[in-house]
Amino acid sequence: MPEEADLHQPHDKLFVQGFSDPTNAAALLKTQFPVELAARIDWTALVLQNGSFIDSQYRKTQTDLLFTTTFAGRSCRLYLLFEHQSSPDPLMALRLLRYKIRIWEAFLKEHPGEPLPVVLATVLAQNGSKWEVSQKFSDLLDLPEDLVAVLRPFIPDFSFGLMQLAETPFESLPGTPAGILILRVMKAERLNQLLNDAVWDESLIGQVPTPLFELLLRYILSADIDKEAFETKIQEIQNPATRANAMSLAQVYRQEGHQEGRREGRQAGRQEGRQEGEVIFAVRQLQRKFPTIAAQATPLVSQLDEEQLLAFGEAILFLTTETDCLDWLNRAGN
C-alpha cells in the first residue's frame, strides 16, 4: 500500500481508500481469474502489505496494492495495479514484470532462502475508450513462428488480468456494494457522467460506510459538474437518512468553498464584487501551486463563471501537474 503522501490524484485516493479493504479487493479480484484458479485462492485470508512497487515516472498515473494470501495451501501474492492514464501502454506486461521482480526481491529480504511465491497480477484501467493491449508477456517478444515451441522453455512468460472500465457496463461492474459504487463513479468520471443514475443507486449508497460516501461526494464535487443538477440528485434520494447525510455533506463542502473564496476575495478585491474577488482568489491559488503557467492560465480563470470558480477552487486541491490544470480550465471553458 502506498504512503498517503504519495497519493496526489483524487483517483488514487479513492482507489486506495476503497480497495485497501481486503473484502472489497477480494470481491473484485476473484472475478479476474479463471474459475479453477480462483477456486484455489483463500479469499478470506487477504492481508494488505505496505509499500509500492511502481516506477517513479508513473506515480501520477497509477498506484498499486499488494495482498498476501495462499494458493492451494502455498504462499501467494495478489497484485492490483490501478491505471488512470488516458492512453494505453503496449508494454504493460513488461512494466508488470519489473513490478513482480521488485515484489520477489522484497520477499527475499524478509524470507531469505525460501521459495518465491506466485504473484498474480491484475490491472484496473480507468479508461474512457477500450485499450488494445496484449495480456501475455510473450506477445512482446519477436519470436520466429516456427521456433516458438523450441524457445518457450528459455523465455519468461505470464498473463495478467485486465479489467477495463470502458468496456464494462455500469450494471456489470463486480464486487461488494462499496467496490461497485467506486468503480461506477470512476467509470462515470471518464465519461463525464457523474450524475448518471448508476452512480446514484440507492441500493448501493445505503450500504456504503459514511467515510467512503463522503470521499465519493468530494470526488464528484471536485469534477466540473452541474452543481444545480448535483443538488437535484441529492434531493431525489428516497431514503431520508441517506438524503439528509448527503445534503449535510454537500452543504459542508459548499460552505467551505464559499468561505474560502469570500475570505480571499474580500481581502483582495472587495470593491470589485464577490465574483471578481473569487477570480482573484482563484488566480492566487494558481500562482501558488503552478507559477510557471500562471500567465497562460489566468485568462482562462477570468472567463469562468461563479459556479466554475467554486469548482476550480475545489479541483485545484487535487490537480498535480500544470497539464492537468490547463486541461481542466480548457474543458470548463468549452
Tens-place pLDDT, residues 68-93: 999 999 999 999 999 988 788 899 99
Question: For the segment 93-107, what is each residue's pLDDT rounded down to a tens digit?
Answer: 999 999 999 999 999
| Torsion angles phi and psi, residue 107, rounded to 5 | -60, -45
What per-residue confidence (pLDDT) applies to 6?
A: 47
What per-residue confidence (pLDDT) applies to 94?
A: 96
DSSP H or E segment with residue 110: helix 92-110
Write a three-state SS string for 29-58.
HCCCCCHHHHCCECHHHCEECCCCCCCHHH
Is it the case that residue 1 has pLDDT exceeding 60? no
pLDDT classification of 262: cutoffs 50, 70, 90: low
3-state secondary structure of 128: coil
Are 249 and 217 in contact by the 8 Å Cβ rule? The answer is: yes
Question: For the segment 110-130, what is each residue's pLDDT rounded down to a tens digit?
Answer: 999 999 999 999 999 999 899
Grid coordinates 472475478 are at which residue?
31
Nearest Cα to 184, choosing from 225, 13, 193, 84?
193
What per-residue confidence (pLDDT) applies to 19?
A: 96
Q: How far, in Å, CA of 28 to CA of 80, rounded?
A: 10
Q: Is the dihedral of CA 317, 321, 322, 326 positive or negative?
A: negative
Residues in CB range of 113: below 8 A, 6 or more apart: none
